[in-house]
Amino acid sequence: MAEKTIQNLEEVTIRFAGDSGDGMQLTGTQFTNTTAILGNDLSTLPDYPAEIRAPAGTLFGVSGFQIHFGSTEINTPGDQCDVLVAMNAAALKVNLGSLIDGGTIIANSDGFNDKNLKLAGYASNPLTDGSLQKYHLHSVDITKLTGLAIQDMNLSSKLVDRSKNFFALGMMYWMYNRPMESTINWIEKKFGNKPEIKEANLRVLKAGWNFSETTEIFAVRYEVGPAKLAPGKYRNITGNQALAWGLIAAAKKAKLDLFLGSYPITPASDILHELSVYKHFGVKTFQAEDEIAGVTSALGASFGGALGVTTTSGPGVALKTEAIGLAVMVELPLIIVNVQRGGPSTGLPTKTEQSDLLQSLYGRNGEAPVPIIAAATPADCFETAFEASRIALKYMTPIFCLSDGYLGNGSEPWLIPDYNALPEIAPKFRTEKEGFFPYSRDEQTLSRPWAIPGTPGLEHRIGGLEKQHITGNVNYEPLNHEFMIKMRAEKVERIANEIPLAEVEGDSQGDLLVVGWGGTYGSIKSAVAHHRQKGNSVFHLHLRWLNPMPRNVGEILYKFKHILVPELNLGQLVKVLRAKYLVPAVGLNKIQGLPFKSVEIENKIEEILRGTK
Amino acid sequence: MSVLVDEVMKLSPPPSDQKASSKDFQSDQDVRWCPGCGDYSILAQTQRVMPDLGIPRHRMVFVSGIGCSSRFPYYMNTYGFHSIHGRATAIASGLKMARPELSMWVVTGDGDGLSIGGNHMIHLLRRNLDINVLLFNNQIYGLTKGQYSPTSEKGKVTKSSPFGSIDYPFNPAALALGSSATFVARTLDRDPKHMQAIIKRAAEHKGTSFVEVYQNCNVFNDGAFFQFTEKDTKDDTVVYLEHGKPLTFGKEKDKGIRLNGFSPEVVSLKDGKWSVNDLLVHNEKDTTLSFILADMTYKAGLPRPIGIFLAIDRPVYEQEMVRQIVFAQEKRGDGDMVKLLNSGDTWTVQ
């Protein structure tokens, strides 16, 4: 056995790609968890088709999982990958474009038979026709080797086929010098009552490692040291899980029951799945008959004194619209979580987009202001959901908590917060009869009292018809209506009194300010950082609150010569900024169902700066 | 129950709540239905029955959607929620899950409950939350001024069907039974005593109670049910369902319903061919029978069945939900947030 060279790397991006039935998401998740435990910083991008088991070998059936990890700060899942693991010809075809020149391909040669090549549209086999010369190609018959590793177990070819992703995983563990314990433990737990499958997967995983160790195929192994993260205890977390936990933490702090009314929808369903586990926290999850029942049941629960939540994606919000208007009118706390996906209509269910900002701001009949807060990274979904709950309860208002497909499914290391240090949430139920009126208002927040059914002496009626100021009785008077419209708007506006002022990362004035919101945070941060390293006067403003916006946003915008707003839509925030602050902001827009590559933003910044100089 | 809600539930009610009268259930709002509307009677009967239930009014909630019937909560001095079209059942479901101890009432109509809200209605019925649904059926859209509804008879000429409606009507009782409802009844706005008895039974039933009330809209569909409510016809057109009793009707109780195979038929008790012993005996626990009885609704030559079609027990949804929570808490202990945050694979950076 030849001595293998070990090479140190600061960061690497690997993409696992195969059929949607090949277990690529599982492989990627396992590699991610192991990498997280090793202390690397990381960011992931699962990229899978809407079809559960698309026909094998087809281009549209390719499922991918990209992980970017390193010993430095990692903000994005990586613009391009350094290593592509392709389980068949279609996976290579779809993903080759994202591999860097000189990158490594590990191809399962069994997935390149005549049928596979035809389905992928290859006239000749790329593994043998020399077309991949600019890459380091390792062609390995993973299927055959998997079969050999477990041939004495007499398993069906279907089961053998299902294990082959563990061979690929074992290879990558060897190549990047990762311990296998975490995955071994996972397999033992997951298949504990299926001893044959457990045994097969364990053997195949180790076979992948041993194969790499023994053969001459790989001359180099890589080492990626731990990142210099802030001290503390970490775990890896996806956006959807973090969001679910943020809601539980908020309810717990508030001493309220958490009620989730939800209808399954990609990519938000995992929040419903996650919350339905925590019955011992008193969490009540209700899988409703439709999106409308999801939100209305949550509103009913809020009337009863629970923290009412509904989780969905854009098409679901469209259906919930009328009920959100009702929540505005009856002024009850309600969290509406939108894990945005590609639209319009059914659109791209499994892909990411930020195209529901204007829907959140304006997508209701009448003047119906709703506060909006958006998460920036997968782990940030925790704090965002917690903050959304705190504000909804304090101001007695529905609120949008925006995430997106990339954040929801993506993951990153998370510095576990100290629960006891989280802000207090202290809702109060009105119980004094003296001077009670359903629509009297708190002087500071303008919120109305929360008097829940069961409170003696406070019987009252609420509803969607216009309310008389103070008494809450149905009222059609022209001036009262205008007054109440303004009152509801003012209440939401007053949230700005307590949200933090916006802070520019970098300086407070300069040539170009890049303004972003939501899941583009990491790409913008990386792009701006690169320009700053080059000495360019480029700065980053991230808006966590979209409604109301921090009080100082205008002030900041006016200090920059140019304002660039990159968004995964046709220009929604930029429209709002231009209308609200009368600034000549320009957009950088991408609507491909994929996150920004930071280089795309970098190039746009370059273009603007070149025009200036 | 959360700590905060628990504190509210411990508050003692004011003394005035302890021996309530129907007046205590009247709110201070002026009732604004058209004069002569059947809704007045339903409101009055409901307010009359409430004190007998022994539930303090601060633990009662009336939820409604949109339509004439849905103004009902404003007139009840209880908690109330006048919501949006068709969604009362879903709002009430959420509230009931959050607060199983409340007495829940949904007031809806044939349009609100069976057209725009039809989906939520059938799902409420199959889940069997302990909610009482009063569905005012006037076979017309009143609030929007006179279009045909999902219970309007075929051929009905209205503003939106000038050549006669081509829609076939729902049979609400059959729809409820088909949705696996556990309590299904029908009553009449012009039969106060019967309505009171039915409302009381509905309140006592554990599970969803579906009560269809034939209600006259004297402006847009006057007299739709007069054949069942007016003196000169009602005896021959209505058969009252009473548990354990044979189905007889007619002024002299000289007619009855017998089963011919699975089909009900009218027989005379006068000509000596049939006696009371040959008649169908009502059993409100018999699901099969309930379908047969509900199916009589639009059949020519058969009297309209009024009363309780079915009243059976089945586990109540919100209790099952509580049971799972209690079980989880017994097994895993009360949820500990610090533990949860620190669960799974973790690592420490020094």
Evaluate whether residue B256 is within a structural domain. Answer: no
Q: Does the residue B153 lie in any domain? A: yes
Pair B137, B172: CB distance under 8 Å: yes
CB contact under 8 A, A300 and B27: no
- Nearest by CB to residue A231, choosing from B328, B342, B349, is B349
- pLDDT in the model for residue A3: 65
What pLDDT digit, counting tens, does each position of A538-555 carry?
999 999 999 999 999 999
Look at residue B15 in the predicted model and tell me its pLDDT: 65
Provide mean pLDDT across the span B34-45. 97
Contact yes or no for A424/A285 (Cβ under 8 A): no
What is this model's ipTM? 0.97
More confident residue, A160 or A31: A31
> Nearest CB to B82: which of A33, A278, A465?
A465
When scoring B1, B4, B58, B82 by the number of chain A Cβ atoms within 10 A, the one with the most, hence best to mutate, is B4
Confidence of residue B18 (pLDDT cuts 50, 70, 90): low
Which H helix or E strand runs over B184? Answer: strand B183-188
- B69 to chain A: which residues are within 8 Å by CB? none
Q: Which two tokens stand for residue A197?
A: 């499958």
CA distance A24 to A169: 10
Mean of all residue pLDDT scores within chain A? 95
Q: Is A594 a residue whose pLDDT tops 90?
A: yes
Among A426-435, A506-515, B25-34, B51-60, the least confident range: A506-515
- At A579 the pLDDT is 98
Q: What residues 422-451 of chain A have any CB closer than 8 A to a CB of chain B? A: 427, 429, 431, 433
Residue A213, classified by CB atoms within 10 Å of its CB into exposed (0-12), middle (13-18) or buried (19+), is middle
Task: Classify residue B21: in a domain, yes or no.
Answer: no
Q: What distances in angstroms separate CA B290 from CA A103, A563, B102, B198, B308, one per listed residue? A: 72, 70, 29, 16, 9
pLDDT band at B16 (very low <50, low <70, confident <90, very high): low
Q: What is the mean pLDDT of chain B?
A: 96
Q: What pLDDT, on a 0 to 100 scale, did the predictor assign at position A411?
A: 94
Would you say residue B269 has pLDDT above 70?
yes
Task: Please state the rounded mean pLDDT for residues A75-95.
Answer: 96
Please state the rounded mean pLDDT for residues B147-157: 97
CATH number at residue B136: 3.40.50.970
Q: Give the pLDDT score at A389.
A: 98
Please report the pLDDT score of residue A456 as a whole number: 96
* Chain A residues with beta carbon closer than 8 angstroms to that of B12: 456
Q: pLDDT (tens digit, 9 = 90+) per residue, A45-77?
A: 998 888 877 788 999 999 999 999 999 999 999
* B13 part of a folded domain: no
Looking up tokens 């995955």 gives A183
Q: Which one of B81, B122, B318 would you mutate to disrupt binding with A, by most A Cβ within 10 Å of its Cβ?
A: B81
Q: Could you give phi then psi for residue A304, rounded to 5 degrees?
A: -85, 0
Q: Does residue B270 lie within any of the structural domains?
A: no
Tell me how close the Cα of B174 comes to any Cα of chain A, in angstroms. 21
How confident is residue B215, by pLDDT bands cut at 50, 70 and 90?
very high
Which has more confidence, B20 or A253?
A253
In this prediction, residues A3-14 reach a mean pLDDT of 89
pLDDT score recorded for residue A52: 77
Residue type, B212: E
**Closest Cα partner for A225 from A67, A44, A40?**
A40
- What domains does chain A contain, in order, with CATH numbers? 5-224 (3.40.920.10), 238-421 (3.40.50.970), 504-612 (3.40.50.920)
Domain range for residue B76?
33-245+282-335
Contact list in A for residue B79 (CB cut-off 8 A) is 453, 459-461
Q: pLDDT tens digits for A351-391?
A: 999 999 999 999 999 999 999 999 999 999 999 999 999 99
- Convert B301-326 to b/e letters by CB count within 10 Å (16 or more is b): ebbbbbbbbbbbeeebbbeebbeebe
Instruction: Evaluate whether residue B269 is within a structural domain.
Output: no
pLDDT of A207-237, one tens digit each?
Answer: 999 999 998 888 889 999 999 989 999 999 9
What's the rounded Cα separation, in Å, for the pair B236 and B286?
25
Contact B84 A233 (CB under 8 A): no
Residue B81 has pLDDT above 60, yes or no: yes
CB contact under 8 Å between A284 and B321, yes or no, is yes
17-76 of B, contacting A, C-beta below 8 A = 17, 27, 29, 56-61, 63, 66, 73-74, 76
Is A459's CB within 8 Å of B349's CB?
no
Whether A257 has its CB under 8 Å from any CB of chain B: the answer is yes
Contact A426, A398 (CB under 8 A): no
**pLDDT value of position B87:** 98
Q: Is the pLDDT of residue A160 over 90?
A: no
B80: in domain:
yes
Q: What's the pLDDT at A1?
A: 47
Question: pLDDT value at position B325?
Answer: 97
Contact A33 B95 (CB under 8 A): no
Q: How many domains does chain B have?
A: 1
When pLDDT is averaged across residues A242-267 and rounded to a whole number, the result is: 98
| Residue B346 in domain | no
pLDDT higher than threshold 70 for residue A37: yes
Predicted confidence at residue A149, as pLDDT, reads 95
